[in-house]
Amino acid sequence: MRVTVRLFARLREIAGDSDWRQEIEEVAPAASVQDVWRTVVGRHPALEPYGGSISCAVNAQFARMTAAVRDGDEVAFLPPVSGG
58 in any annotated domain: yes
Rounded Cα gap, residues 56 and 33, in angstroms:
8
CA end-to-end span of the chain:
40
Give the mean pLDDT of 2-28: 83
> Residue 34 in contact with residue 28, Cβ under 8 Å?
no
The residue range of the domain holding 59 is 2-78
The CATH number of whichever domain residue 27 belongs to comes to: 3.10.20.30
Domain-embedded: residue 48: yes
Residue 39 in any domain: the answer is yes
Number of domains in the chain: 1
Q: Which residue has the higher pLDDT, 16 or 14?
A: 14
Say what the pTM is.
Answer: 0.89
Confidence of residue 81 (pLDDT cuts 50, 70, 90): confident
In a domain, 42, yes or no: yes
| Whole-angstrom distance, CA of residue 22 vs CA of residue 3 | 10
28-51: average pLDDT = 94
Q: Per residue in 57-77, is it b (16+ CB within 10 Å) or e — as a string?
A: bbeeeebebebebeeebebbb
Would you say residue 84 lies in a domain?
Answer: no
Q: Does 83 fall in a domain?
A: no
Range 46-69 average pLDDT: 95
